[in-house]
Chains A and B, each alone.
Chain A
Amino acid sequence: MRALRAAPGLTLALMLGPVAAGLIGTLAPALGVFPALGGTRLSLAPFAALAAWPGLGRAVFLSLFTGVAATLISLGIVTLFAAGWQGTRAMAGIERALAPLLAVPHAAAAFGLAFLIAPSGWIARALSPWATGWTRPADLLIVQDPWGLAMVAGLVIKEVPFVLLMLLAALPQARPGPRLRIARALGYGRVTGWLKAVFPAVYAQIRLPVYAVLAYSMSVVDVAIILGPNTPPPLAVQVVRWMSDPDLSLRFQAAAGAVVQLALVAIALAGWRLGEIAIGTLGRRWAEGGARRHGEGAARGAGLALAGLAAGAVVAGLAGLGLWSVAGLWGFPEALPDTVSLKSWARHGPALIAPARETLLIAGAATALALALVLACLEAEHRFGLTPGARSLWLLYLPLVVPQVAFLPGVQTLALMGGADMGRGAVILGHLVFVLPYVFLTLAAPWRAWDARHATVAAALGAGPGRVFWAVRMPMLLAPALGAMAVGLAVSVGQYLPTLLIGAGRVQTLTTEAVALASGGDRRLIGLTALAQTGASVVGFALALAVPRIVWRRRRGLCGA
């Protein structure tokens, strides 16, 4: 019992230690202090240097615009789709496709999308030269456009499945069936009824994951490098560039940029919160207005089309990359490669086996630890009536909102000073910092929304708190728990900088291999490693969707959706 009571404190310490070290490691150089580089006095010179960078305004704008746009569009698509199609066969179909969609790494999805929409890409190839008249790719700025629209698209196709998964995990607790039935009985259309009666309850539960999407989209680096503008790039990309510049004095400016990035995320989250309040007020008026139908058919069609388009883009992009991994020469405007062979797989495949094993080991350990801690925290909260303040939630958020590149060098120094020796164990702990918030965010809402009267009934029947947990609560919340685990696995599989920095390059995972190989830009290699990475995280999602259905095949209400 005492151990359980200590769980929230322990978890916060595990999260906050590295974050605090990371923040100090970012703030100190931003204020001119970096002894190894000769900075020993406080100064605002790094911020002055940052302000003097001519691209700052544009970089800040891009960061805000792409992040907010990607989040709004993703949430909009998911809401529209769920409103129109919840409980239908189309929804079940998309649900089945969720696992592979979620498992595709962001960078791979971005490369796939780039290959689809570029002027020399698959779509142009399929239409050339018979429809377009192009025998050579047109000189059109589609990918890396100055507004970052391609980048927004790349983020949306990956965030739609994530938000949808969150929504599906939260949905049962919002009891959509009865709500919708009542709304329909009162004559509301399916979409209007869902938006008015179900959405407010669901959104309250997926709010934190949506914030995570916003923070992530604003500070993403890999997708931005592939699809985003580069003259100038969004702020996070520029910070990374300064961080790896041979001119070590730019580290000061980079740290200042990271602090600005952090502030941007905070501002955007505050703005989003204000938006929620405004929409809540307007929405209440709209709901009370009593209008029964708003273009139901069009809304349903748009929801399905947009969700299908997002899913289709990921699948087609991955298919394109898969084809590249077996392609011989494949010039424009051929829609298919001249020759197909397994040469690339034979050449590079065997070298991926060891990293694949390492990846699964680290992801499994980090996720298991995270799940144990999160369950302990939530159970402690329930048993001891600890109500987590908004503050502790924000603390949990820090690893997700601080740009990784700024916060991780500090973590690395801490690990070195603490004597943690660059091994797998240190990397697992490093991954835990990023995996845990996602597991917590994914699991907390459905866990807390569980009807505690079940516990009261069980207790009345003589069950102790342990038995209530194992025999009642865990089984009822198996689906969200496994969903959270799958998300945790995918997050761990995708970690690049923590693995590189804490593992000193000596711990090699599929992602460190993939990023290094992708830096070369050879589509065959990118395709090959993208498929391997996807394979590694698809395992978790497949289990998360399949296990509840198998275990609870006779109890429909526990299957997750």
Chain B
Amino acid sequence: MRAIPRLIATLALCSATPAVANPDPADWPAVLDEARGQTVYWNAWGGASATNDFIRWAGDVVKDRYGVNVVHVKLADTGDAVSRVLAEKTAGKDTGGAIDLIWINGANFAAMKKNGLLFGPWAEDLPNWTYVDVEGKPAVTADFTVPTEGLEAPWAMAQVVFYYDTARLPEPPPSMSALLDWAARDPGRFTFPQPPDFLGATFMKQALYGMIADPTVLQSPVDEVDYDAVTAPLWAFMDALTPHLWRQGRAYPQTGPRQLQLMADGEIDLAISFSPGEASAAIANGQLPDTVRSYVMEGGTIGNASFVAIPYNATAKAGAMVLADFLLSPEAQARAQDPVVLGYGTVLALDSLPPEDRARFDALELGIATLSPEALGPTLPEPHPSWMTRIEADWSARYGVAD
């Protein structure tokens, strides 16, 4: 991988062809002008109807208001979009790329940033950036500790919660050790999406937080700390837990929504989620019974932000910025936070908003299974992305090839 900086330099030279001037978000009227009539291909995971509906709504509004067409390219995996940009770079297609905007965060962002696959900086010059809660929500400028440097714009906050069915599990375990006790007593009623799905890895990172004396080590790359010593208690915990998992840990749901289906089928009683509003939205859709509630464990839970980024060779950069700016608007943010729609947390600082915009948020009802911001408790920062990669790899070696 050492050759990559050199390679990027070479590619940068090669691509110094007379390119079209890139739009400058500091000159917003010019961006709006250029964006009119453009078509933005927004590559975003397409596995949840709630987000698909939200994206359709955002596209309709942006079309009406700014004349920007939005096409939602529904991905089964964000990695597909990363692969696409990589293939375009391999083929020397440095302009006119197929992807204009990607819903991204964490390891995918880190990989694209490292390999020079992103356009920018642009995000911090968007008009609606002024409302973003940079101080109160450090995750909006540090994506899994990797500085965003204006290469991606945040649009939703997420925090780990657990949801459970009160009809079957009246008293959910308040801590990881209580979870282990409960699983040992009543085996087969808990599981998590199989790593490398992000939720499975998140479950382990969440567990790890409660087991180490000094959580700040998680902010450094794994190769700068004593990884084996830090994670020893985690693996002891996982060794104890795995035999008591659903199907004795011999099979796992592959994604969060398939985990939700297991909950709906009554196969499991407790599940992890990265969206505080997911349970409420699922109840509203008739996917879960209205006896489901969510809660957080003691000591705070991991929180992060979802972003949108523009590939370096995107075709409709101006249109993509207009869409990203709209996603940051109080109007879109309030809609995303509505539990009936998405239930995503806002990235804005509510006290910085004009009163009429603030009122949009005050008018929201939380939803039957959604915790209030106070009840959600403190958020813990995401560890450096290398933790995710390493923990996933170790989990796979220990439990992922067990049969």
A: which residues have CB within 8 A of B?
34-40, 53-55, 58, 118-120, 136-137, 139, 141, 143-146, 225, 229-232, 241, 243-249, 327-332, 339, 343, 347-348, 351, 409, 412-413, 416-417, 422, 500-501, 504-506, 508, 512-513, 515-525
Q: Which residues of B contact A119 (CB under 8 A)?
A: 267
Q: Is the CB of B254 within 8 A of A136?
A: no
Q: How far is B197's CA from A339's CA once the two chains are assembled, in angstroms?
A: 33
Q: Which residues of B contact A327 (CB under 8 A)?
A: 286
Q: Which residues of B contact A225 (CB under 8 A)?
A: 254
B6, B73, B261, B288: the one within 8 Å of A508 (CB): B73
Q: Which of B93, B288, B399 has the most CB of A within 10 A?
A: B93
17 CB contacts below 8 A, A to B, read A37-B115, A38-B1, A39-B3, A137-B267, A231-B251, A231-B402, A231-B403, A241-B196, A244-B77, A246-B389, A248-B115, A327-B286, A329-B264, A332-B265, A347-B49, A504-B99, A516-B46
Given pairs A412-B87, A517-B46, 10 additional interface contacts (CB within 8 A): A118-B265, A141-B247, A144-B247, A231-B194, A231-B399, A329-B289, A506-B41, A513-B46, A516-B45, A521-B258
B92, B250, B257: the one within 8 Å of A141 (CB): B250
Q: How far is B3's CA from A241's CA once the two chains are assembled, in angstroms?
A: 25
Given A35-B7, A505-B98, A520-B257, CB of A332 within 8 Å of CB of B71? no
Q: Which of B48, B92, B401 has the most CB of A within 10 A?
A: B401
Closest-by-CB residue of A relative to B41 is: A506
Q: Which residues of A contact B266 (CB under 8 A)?
A: 120, 136-137, 331-332
Q: Is the CB of A519 within 8 A of B41?
A: no
Q: Which residues of B contact A331 (CB under 8 A)?
A: 264-266, 289
Interface residues of B in 240-269 (CB under 8 A from A): 246-255, 257-258, 260-262, 264-267
B2, B98, B261: the one within 8 Å of A422 (CB): B98
Q: How far is B285's CA from A348's CA once the two chains are assembled, in angstroms?
A: 13
Q: Which residues of B contact A525 (CB under 8 A)?
A: 49
Nearest-neighbour CB distance to chain A for B133, whole angstroms, equals 27
Q: Is the CB of B265 within 8 A of A521?
A: no
Q: Is the CB of A248 within 8 A of B265?
A: no
Q: Is the CB of B73 within 8 A of A347?
A: no
B43, B168, B246: the one within 8 Å of A136 (CB): B168
Q: Is the CB of B251 within 8 A of A519?
A: no
Q: Is the CB of B74 within 8 A of A512?
A: yes
Which of B102-110, B214-222, B297-305 lies at the interface with chain A? B102-110
Q: Which residues of B contact A143 (CB under 8 A)?
A: 251
Q: How far is B254's CA from A241's CA once the two chains are assembled, in angstroms?
A: 12
Given A331-B289, A516-B47, CB of A416 within 8 Å of CB of B248? no
Q: How far is B253's CA from A120's CA once the two chains are assembled, in angstroms?
A: 14
- B1-17 toward A: CB 8 Å interface, digit per residue (1/0)? 11110110000000000
Q: Which residues of A contact B360 (CB under 8 A)?
A: none
Nearest-neighbour CB distance to chain A for B298, whole angstroms, equals 28
Nearest-neighbour CB distance to chain A for B295, whole angstroms, equals 21
Q: Which residues of A contact B400 (CB under 8 A)?
A: 55, 230-232
Nearest-neighbour CB distance to chain B for A65, whole angstroms, equals 13
Given A230-B252, A505-B84, A513-B74, CB of A520 within 8 Å of CB of B264? no
Q: How far is B254's CA from A425's CA once the two chains are assembled, in angstroms?
A: 34
Q: How far is B287's CA from A146's CA once the two chains are assembled, in angstroms?
A: 29
Q: How far is B84's CA from A296's CA once the two chains are assembled, in angstroms?
A: 57
Given A231-B402, A247-B389, A512-B74, CB of A505 within 8 Å of CB of B43? yes
Nearest-neighbour CB distance to chain B for A119, whole angstroms, equals 7
Q: How far is B164's CA from A123's CA once the two chains are assembled, in angstroms?
A: 26
Closest-by-CB residue of B relative to A36 is: B90
Interface residues of B in 1-54 (CB under 8 A from A): 1-4, 6-7, 41, 43, 45-49, 52-53
Nearest-neighbour CB distance to chain A for B170, whole angstroms, equals 15
Given A229-B251, A332-B266, CB of A523 within 8 Å of CB of B47? no
Q: How far is B91's CA from A247's CA once the two chains are assembled, in angstroms?
A: 20
Q: Is the CB of B7 within 8 A of A504?
A: no
Instruction: Let me know if B88 is at the binding interface, CB within 8 A.
Output: yes
Closest-by-CB residue of A relative to B252 is: A230
Q: Is the CB of B111 within 8 A of A246?
A: yes
Closest-by-CB residue of B relative to A226 is: B254
Q: How far is B254's CA from A518's CA once the two chains are assembled, in angstroms?
A: 11
Nearest-neighbour CB distance to chain A for B297, whole angstroms, equals 24
